[in-house]
Amino acid sequence: MNALLIARLTLKEAARKRLLLLVVIGSVLFLTLFGVGLILLLGQVRAQMAGSGAGRQGIAVFSAMMTLMGFYMLNTLAGLSAVFISVNAISGDIDSGTVHALLAHPLRRRDVILGKWLGYASVLALYVVVMSLALMAIAYFVTDFLPPAPLAAIGLMVLVTLVLLSLSTLGGTFLPTLANGVGLFLLYGLAWLGGMVETLGAALRSDTMVHIGIVVSLLIPSDVLWRSASFYLQPAAILAMQNVSTGGVVPFASATPPAAPMLIYTVLYTLGALGLAIAVFNRRDL
Amino acid sequence: MTVIATQQLRKVYGNGKVALESLSLEVGRAEVFGFLGPNGAGKTTAIKILMGLVAPTAGSVKVFGLPPGDPAVKGRLGFLPEHFRFYDWLTGRELLDFSGRLAGLDAARRRRRVDETLRLVGLAEAADVHIRGYSKGMQQRIGLAQALLHEPELVLLDEPTSALDPLGRREVRDIIRRLKGEGVTVFLNSHLLSEVELVCDEVAIVDRGRVVRSGPLAALVAGERELRVLVDHVTDEFRARLEGLGSVLTASDTEVTLAVADGEAAPLVAQAAVELGVQLHALVPAHRRLEDIFVQAIEGEAG
Ligand SMILES: Nc1ncnc2c1ncn2[C@@H]1O[C@H](COP(=O)(O)OP(=O)(O)OP(=O)(O)O)[C@@H](O)[C@H]1O
Ligand SMILES: [Mg+2]
């Protein structure tokens, strides 16, 4: 109950602070650029492919690829936003002494952690859903392409932001804001790198590289989740292209559906990080 | 009835700093308890332990008979931290409303209490201004307001007047008196001794994490008297006699201030002056002020 009051306050804060305005402006800019870029590029591709027999098919593949790329950028944007809005959620309140006044009220320490997490999680989920729908609408309007299973993809992208949110919450309970932020960006970068290594490793048939990728994914599953999401965004034509035997590879996308154990792992990972955050926060002096 | 009880409370911070050596306190219902001490004595550490914000290294602590930090305990108390800070994008009224919600007040009572406490701390005019735009003193006032909003049985105040002007200090004093009248227990951290002297019933003086003096204020102040002795010249012999009658607080060529236990000393000093041929100009008895007791207690410790 009290956690919900904190969540409500967090939502209010997000709505009232300039930060959100910044995110909205940035996102509108991103969508506009995506739309305009798509129109321009599509015009060029149409002009080039006109006359060739494979024209229709080529344009379809191009549209799907561009949409996938748009989602890739959106996923990155959402991930960075998750870190950005929550990085000082706990440490900032500890530094300023706000926790003293907050915890003077009849609530438990875990209410503060859970409440803030819930508040930010709702903002992030809403952000990913709205932006994904906007992106899909623009892509459909310009190219007639619709991803095959957008809901699954959106769900997985929300999970990406929750993984990062939980990690940032955990870091905030024992690290100063700056250290937490630097650490999160390093991890996020590592995840991206791990994803690349794994994809390339699969293409080059290097078990070592694949294993490195998997270990990184276990450490920070944000990129493997994105790659799972990407599967649901690609039509059969692109999936077929991504055939290892032909050497075709889209470096930031996966041609196989997510494995159930991986999904279970990431959910446990997210909850585990959150639980650990509560445990650490419960034990520390404030 | 005991509201706060601690036994041999000890706190060593992570960096090895011993903030509290061994603190044993007992605060009864409707008492105004003054917790005094120099900077770094451990006052804030003690109050944080009472709030469950800091875990003691050893010893036991109970508030309302329960471990501190328990929501059931926190629902019955109000706390003004040393440096009150809250989300500064809220207005004063919104802050209090949020406080009231956390404390579980229903909408009607919340509205009534928000207005009442805003008026009580003199912020009615600034109620709808963002806290970001509050002065330091106004922040402390709104902090006091959120501590009193839900009409708690126990109020813990960590230097509540540190940022206030003289008028504000007087207002806080009146508020504390009023709380006492209503049967509220007040735990007051302070080093403003004149202030403590005016409102507290019980006092504990801490230094380097230990209680060096404690007891009812009246007894503490009454038990100690001071005797100013003005003479033409303080001879060694005369001084030696005075030292036998009480402890010398200050001494110069012509004046000695003695701390004495009771009123018996004055005639003995006069007698000594006569016997030793010292000319006595004046013999002035006075009650000792809390400040003197404080200084003596701390210096006695240091010495
Ligand atoms: N978080 C902390 N980590 C390490 N040492 C601390 C911490 N907080 C306080 N101390 C140390 O513990 C001692 C007691 O500090 P405390 O804040 O309780 O004193 P205080 O009596 O409230 O002083 P003041 O009158 O200046 O407010 C000090 O020596 C201080 O340096
Ligand atoms: Mg202090």
Q: For chain A, what are the domain ranges?
A: 2-283
Q: What is the mean pLDDT of residues A100-124?
A: 96
Q: Over 80: is that where the pLDDT of B296 sits? A: no
Q: Is the CB of B43 under 6 A from ligand 1?
A: yes
Q: Name residue, tokens 């320490």.
A: A109
| B175 Cβ neighbours under 8 A, 6+ residues apart | B120, B121, B144, B148
DSSP-derived secondary structure letter, B156: E
Nearest ligand to residue B36 Cα: 1
- Report which bound ligand comes closest to the CA of B38: 1
If you average pLDDT over residues B211-233, what whole number do you get?
82
Torsion of CA B196, B197, B202, B204, to 10 degrees: 60
Average pLDDT (A38-42) is 90
User: Which are the contacts of B297, defined by CB distance < 8 A and separation ≥ 6?
Assistant: B205, B207, B212, B213
A13, A101, A283 ranked by CB distance to B143: nearest: A101
Ligand 1 atom having least distance to the Cα of B41:
21
Residues from chain A contacting residue B132 (CB–CB below 8 Å): none
Q: How far apart are the first and last CA of chain B?
A: 37
Residue B40 gets the label, from left (phi > 0), alpha (psi -120 to 50) or beta, of left
Share of chain A above pLDDT 90, in %: 64
Average pLDDT, chain A: 90
Q: What is the pLDDT of residues B22-70, one digit of tens each?
A: 999 999 999 999 999 989 999 999 999 999 999 999 999 999 999 998 9
- Residue A91 vs residues A57, A106, A281, B57, B233: alpha-carbon distances, Å: 53, 21, 10, 24, 65
Nearest chain A residue (CA) to B86: A98
The answer to whether residues A103 and A109 touch, using CB atoms and an 8 Å cutoff, is yes
Mean pLDDT of B73-101: 95
* Mean pLDDT, range A129-155, rounded to an integer: 93
Of A49-53, A170-174, A240-244, B268-272, where does the model show the most confidence? A170-174
* Distance separating alpha carbons of residues A57 and A36, to the nearest angstrom: 22
The answer to whether residue B277 scores a pLDDT higher than 60 is: yes
**Which pLDDT value is given to residue A54?**
64
Q: What pLDDT digit, counting tens, does each position of A180-233 carry?
A: 999 999 999 999 999 888 888 888 888 898 899 889 989 999 999 999 999 999
Q: How many CA atoms lie within 13 A of A199 on its CB side?
A: 22
- Token pair in block for residue B47: 């109050």
Does the beta-carbon distance from A9 to B98 stay under 8 Å?
yes
The residue whose CA has the least distance to atom 8 of ligand 1 is B45
Contact B103 A105 (CB under 8 A): yes
What pLDDT sits at residue A239?
A: 80
Assess contact for A178 and A149: CB atoms under 8 A: no
Report whether pLDDT(B303) > 60: no
Please give the ipTM for the structure prediction. 0.86
CB of B173 closer than 8 Å to CB of B192: no
Residue with the bigger pLDDT between B4 and A22: it is B4
- At B113-130, the pLDDT tens digits run 999 999 999 999 999 999
* Region A72-95 average pLDDT: 93
Which residues make beta-bridge pairs with B212?
none
Taking CB atoms and an 8 Å limit, are B86 and A16 in contact across chains? no
Distance CA B286, CA B291 (A): 14
Neighbouring-strand partners of residue B219: none
Nearest to A285 among B55, B75, B143 (CB): B55
